[in-house]
Amino acid sequence: MSIYDLGFVNLAIPAWQMVLYIGMVSFFMIGRRANYCFLTTYLFGLYWGYYLFGQDLLTAAKGNAAVETAYITFGLALAALSLMALFYEEK
């Protein structure tokens, strides 16, 4: 594999989203905010998982909207609980 082969890679995630993610994580790392890095990584992972596999999720759920609602609700709840755990840790 050479550097020229990288031009033929089809990325499923839009480049502007990756640039936004890398920029946010870099900004938080420079500012020494590791907690925000973890939260940013989790939220982007949750979104990209839905972006890439949301259609498969809905197909497996046979069009049941409750499954999509549960995915989003529990994902955001987990993000909120992770955020609470990261910021309220005992020192």
So where are the chain's domains? 37-91
Q: pTM for the full model?
A: 0.61
Looking at residue 46, its pLDDT comes to: 81
DSSP for 66-84 reads HHHHHHHHHHHHHHHHHHH
Could you report the per-residue pLDDT of 13-34, keeping only the tens digit for each? 777 888 888 999 998 888 887 7
Looking at residue 2, its pLDDT comes to: 54
Could you report the per-residue pLDDT of 38-86, keeping only the tens digit for each? 888 888 888 887 777 777 777 777 777 787 788 888 888 887 887 777 7
- Specify whether the CB–CB gap between 40 and 24 falls below 8 A: yes
The yes-or-no verdict on residue 1 having pLDDT over 70 is no
